[in-house]
Chain A
Amino acid sequence: MSNIKFNNVNKSFGSNKIIKNFNFEGNDDEFLVLVGPSGCGKSTLLRMIAGLEKIDEGEIKINENLINNLHPSKRETAMVFQSYALYPHMNVYENMSFGLQIEKKSKDEIKSKVSNAAKILKIEDLLSRKPKELSGGQRQRVAIGRAITRNPKIFLFDEPLSNLDAALRAEMRVEISKLHQKIKTNMIYVTHDQVEAMTLADRIVILNEGKIEQVGTPEEIYNNPDNIFVAQFIGTPKMNIFEIKPEDVVSNKIIKILGNEIQFNKYNIEKKKYYIGIRPEHFDIDDHSEYEFSPKIDLVENLGNEKIVYMTKDKHQLSAKISSKSEIKNSFKFSFKNIFIFNENGERLRS
């Protein structure tokens, strides 16, 4: 049982403010994924938890204990690095037991802990090898194993899969997911890959420029984005966002979208600028959606099971993801429930 709490955390490098007033409360033993574009401060946040980066202002608490001034080794966290950071001059066993040996644990205890971790990760027959004799996936397994032997309250993963190739990444993703089910403890996982975020997380924290954009389960994030940034960050291809000019607002309940006059009863719409978002997968050809428009088709990418159609309508660049079986005609449909409206600041209109 462990959880983490951030209280007004600030961090800057020189005059560059990386983390701005970060507040967050984690649940017990959840798999938390911090995701965001590069430079958004997600790795810095992780390194602050680990103690590799000083906390300028604010508090970080693990299980209600303040860890700000604790030495990294006393925070009971374990970190898995993107570059694995295995000690090249030691074999796998030595790598995994190094921390325990420094703590001067008994030989039997070290042995049982290492073999237990090796068993979980299925690296028992690699224990006498040097890191350079291992493949990328094996190295990352060893790095995770090293973290397990430390028996931490919180696992910290710093983009652990981004050095692996696509197939191995998918495999390791499943492994990490299983690992969390096996050793139920808090894991904080930093990535810029939205697929990893969606598949692994209990909750996702989306960061941008040092601030939280949205926190929620993967479903919430996908179905109910708070703003344009979140809406566009999750989902491939990214959500179509296009501008609605004040003259397209017909009345305080009706907006003209892609040639259709659509009635919104829940919102009070003023004569202002708005942004409309529709996900590419919500454009369709064959089904019986309410609204229709006929764009100019620019390009079709066939991915085998689906097609991505790039098109232009009223100077808006749009994309649509449709089944590869459907035949492309000059008309696309969309339905009312899949329309997201954002105000001119990019925030979602809520009723």
Chain B
Amino acid sequence: MKIKNIIIFSIISSLLLLSLISIWKILSTLQGVKLDNLNFQILFILGFLVTFLNVIIEKKINFLIRLFIFSFIFIFIDGYLIQNLPFWYNFGSFLIICLFFNKLKKYNNDFFINEHSTQTIIFDFLTLFGIVLFSFVILFPFYMMLVTSFKTQIALLVNPLDFSINFNQDIKELFKSYFVIFKSYKFGKYILTSTIVSLGTVLITLLFAIPAAYAIARLNFFGKSFMSTSILIIYMFPAIVLVIPLYTVFSQLGLRNSIFGLLIVYTATTLPVAIYMLQGYFKSIPKELEEAAILDKLSWFGIIIKIILPLSIPAISSVALYVFMIAWNEFLFSLMFLDNPNSFTLSRAIQYLSGDAETPRQYLMAGSVIVTLPVLFIFVYFEKYLVSGLTAGSVKG
């Protein structure tokens, strides 16, 4: 039983090591390392032996010493004997192996005695695989975007596939694209427009969604169930169907090229999901709390402001985040409704730039980075509010 567990463990963990090292190799080719072959078989066998031996001699040698011995063996064979690779590559793979061994720490001999340890191993490593591959897939395009934005026109023309960043140049030179898009392409104004539109959408949507969601969650009125189901049906309409009729209507009303027009459309598109998300959360707030508030002489309006809102901060902030991202990234409506560069949003501005053949690619990428960064930062900041559990302790628990 035990030896079978160890072998399965070694196979799976060496596969993980293999994928980690392969990703590292792919990334390093982008920095100019020449590789003809990824040497999967040799890496796999090497990884298998290393992890297997690691478990076998676990009791005899201290963890740190084992770590150094094995990683040196691995790097020596992989980075020196097979292919003579530069020092920074080997240092990188050393760090990866350290990380890898650190993960292996908990799988000691006592662990393998358990009969169900195979299952635990498989699940643990599947999640690790998932994390590694997923982050690679997500981060790689972003990395490309970032790298391109730091390049000069000449460098791009010389070697478009070179993904390394030249850090030796002057800082001003490095961030040149960013200076340019703010100076010559008026990105500051676009950012301002996008911010106003997005924040405005968030505010208006919440203003309508909170009372509506509360009504659907708590009050009884005629057609309530029809209302709550039809909310999502509205959301099922593809935007492209609505764009053309809206275009004619907005043209006649003079709402084209205006932020106000965009606010109306964005609110209308985000409201259904916002209501749906909020009413689900409101329903989970214990009804007794509101009854207690009624007995405390609070009006309906007071209940929403003083009881429901403070308790719904996680839900409201996630809805706000969702609405903000939709409005910030929205493209179709802004493409249709905005023709005048003075009222462009960011996504519309980038489309405008890329439509122009004269615009260098690094400027486009710099613009894309600027579109992406705020959403990223907001997400990181709001993440702590997204953790629910604020109602803990109010009722039995």
Q: Which of B286, B298, B392, B397 contacts A85 (CB 8 A)?
A: B286
Instruction: Tell me the residues in window 358-397 of chain B with beta carbons closer than 8 Å to chain A beta carbons.
Output: 390-397
How many residues on chain A are close to B (CB under 8 Å)? 31
B307 touches A79 (CB 8 A): no
Contact flag A79-B396 (CB < 8 Å), given A87-B307, A89-B311, A102-B302: no
Is A19 engaged at the interface, CB distance under 8 Å to the other chain?
Answer: no
B296 touches A85 (CB 8 A): no
A84 touches B396 (CB 8 A): yes
A85 touches B288 (CB 8 A): yes
Q: B196-209, CB under 8 A of A: which get 1 and which 0?
A: 00000000000000
B393 touches A134 (CB 8 A): yes
Is B154 engaged at the interface, CB distance under 8 Å to the other chain?
Answer: no
- Chain A residues, Cβ within 8 Å of B286: 83, 85
Chain B nearest Cβ from A70, distance in angstroms: 12
Contact flag A85-B394 (CB < 8 Å), given A52-B291, A79-B292: yes
A102 touches B311 (CB 8 A): no
Inter-chain CA distance A52–B293, complex, in Å, is: 11
Contact flag A84-B295 (CB < 8 Å), given A89-B310, A89-B311, A89-B390: no
Inter-chain CA distance A83–B288, complex, in Å, is: 7
Chain A nearest Cβ from B188, distance in angstroms: 40
- Nearest B-chain residue to A143, judged by Cβ: B292
Inter-chain CA distance A240–B156, complex, in Å, is: 96
Instruction: Tell me the residues in window 130-154 of chain A with beta carbons closer than 8 Å to chain B beta carbons.
Output: 130-134, 136, 139, 146, 150
Inter-chain CA distance A89–B288, complex, in Å, is: 15
Most chain A Cβ neighbours within 10 Å, of B297, B310, B390, B391: B297
- Chain B residues, Cβ within 8 Å of A163: 396
Inter-chain CA distance A181–B145, complex, in Å, is: 76
Taking residues whose C-beta sits less than 8 angstroms from the other chain, chain B's interface range is 20 to 34
Is A235 engaged at the interface, CB distance under 8 Å to the other chain?
Answer: no
Q: A84-109, CB under 8 A of B: which get 1 and which 0?
A: 11111100000000110011000000
Is B133 engaged at the interface, CB distance under 8 Å to the other chain?
Answer: no
- Chain A residues, Cβ within 8 Å of B392: 88, 132
Instruction: Tell me the residues in window 34-84 of chain A with beta carbons closer than 8 Å to chain B beta carbons.
Output: 50-52, 72-73, 77-79, 81-84
Is B131 engaged at the interface, CB distance under 8 Å to the other chain?
Answer: no
Chain A nearest Cβ from B177, distance in angstroms: 47
Most chain A Cβ neighbours within 10 Å, of B292, B293, B298, B396: B292
Chain B nearest Cβ from A98, distance in angstroms: 5
A88 touches B297 (CB 8 A): no
- Nearest B-chain residue to A47, judged by Cβ: B291
Inter-chain CA distance A219–B127, complex, in Å, is: 66
Inter-chain CA distance A14–B310, complex, in Å, is: 34
- Nearest B-chain residue to A52, judged by Cβ: B291
- Nearest B-chain residue to A89, judged by Cβ: B310
Most chain A Cβ neighbours within 10 Å, of B295, B296, B393, B395: B295
Q: B257-294, CB under 8 A of A: which get 1 and which 0?
A: 00000000000000000000000000000101101111
Q: Knowing that A81-B291, A83-B286, A132-B397 touch, tell me 16 more A-B residue pairs with CB under 8 angstroms.
A: A50-B295, A52-B294, A81-B292, A83-B395, A84-B288, A85-B286, A85-B288, A87-B394, A88-B393, A89-B310, A89-B390, A99-B296, A103-B297, A132-B394, A133-B393, A136-B396
Residue pairs across A and B with Cβ atoms less than 8 A apart, 13 shown, are A51-B295, A77-B295, A81-B291, A81-B292, A83-B394, A84-B395, A84-B396, A85-B395, A87-B292, A102-B297, A102-B302, A131-B394, A136-B396
